[in-house]
Each structure stands twice: as C-alpha cells, then as structure tokens.
Amino acid sequence: MVADAGASPAGPSKPKGQRMVTWDEPGEWIVDPVKRLKHCAIPLGVDERGAATLMLIVKYEAGSHVDPHFHHSDYASIVVDGSIEVTRRNHEVGSIRVVNAGTVYGPLVAGPDGCTVVEVFATGVADPSVTAMNTYV
C-alpha cells in the first residue's frame, strides 16, 4: 500500500497557505445595534481531534453595554484599542483576560472611545457556533 502524500498518521494534512486580514476589514461584520457592537468571526481551523479554534474581532461603540453572560468554552480576550470595564474592573490596551468555560462575567461597558478586542475561543468541538456563543444570565 502506498501512503497518501497529503496524509499523516493523525489524518489528512491541512493545505499550506495563509489568510491576511486587517482590523478594519477582517471579513464579514455582524452588527448588533442593541448592544452597539459589531464582530467578525475568523475560524482558525480544526486540529487532529476535530476541535476548532475561533478568533473574533469585536468592536464596541463608546458606552456599549453587554449584560452578564458566560461562554461554553475557554477563551482569551485581548484589548487592542480603547478600554472596557468588565465586572467593574477597567481593562485598557494590552490587557489580556483568560477565562475558563462557564465563568459568568459582566456587565461589559465600553470606555468613552469605544473598545476593540481580539478573542480566541478554544471550543473543543468542530462546530465553533455550538460553544462560542453567549449564554446570558
């Protein structure tokens, strides 16, 4: 039997390549006029176990408010512009929060200049829409 050149013991390999995005144009924006924010989801792929990783770029308008909630997966949130108050603690550029799945936090209130964050979700399943969602409390 001849081995497939594109396969590894763990399964088929990913094609090589890269995608380029910018803060302003990372992909399709989903706008939430009630929460006064927009976000763009960028799937980062699936590992050999079938677990997906998802990156979100979230732009909050000044004073934007998001009620307390939790996520069904571990994730990290990195402030890259502006500031945001999370559960009565202010986070500015360079702040990184690492949050365990199921941890309730909030409210979130964007600062006077708004806020942009990069969030990376380690969803643990192949369909990130199942676990990266918010569950409000």
Would you say residue 2 lies in a domain?
A: no
Q: What is the mean pLDDT of residues 94-120?
A: 95
Q: How many domains does the chain have?
A: 1
Stronger pLDDT, 92 or 23, i.e. the higher one? 92
pLDDT above 90 coverage of the chain, percent: 51
Would you say residue 7 lies in a domain?
A: no
**Domain extent for 107:** 27-43+52-64+73-136
Instruction: Please give the mean pLDDT across all residues of the chain.
Output: 83
DSSP 78-124: EEEEEEEEETTEEEETT-EEEE-TT--B--EEEEEEEEEEEEEEE-S
The H-or-E segment that residue 129 falls in is helix 128-131
Q: Show the tokens assigned to 37.
A: 């924010």
Per-residue pLDDT for 128 more than 60? no
Would you say residue 127 lies in a domain?
A: yes
18 pLDDT band, cuts 50/70/90, is confident
Would you say residue 114 lies in a domain?
A: yes
Would you say residue 103 lies in a domain?
A: yes
- Find out whether the peptide bond into 107 is cis, omega within 30 degrees of 0: yes
27 pLDDT band, cuts 50/70/90, is confident
Would you say residue 22 lies in a domain?
A: no
Burial class (CB in 10 A: 0-12, 13-18, 19+), 22: exposed
Would you say residue 113 lies in a domain?
A: yes
Each residue's pLDDT tens digit, 49-85: 667 788 899 999 999 999 999 888 889 999 999 999 9
- How many H helices and E strands in the chain? 1, 12
Q: Show the tokens assigned to 47.
A: 């590992």
Nearest to 27 by CA among 42, 15, 7: 42
CATH number of the domain at 35, please: 2.60.120.10
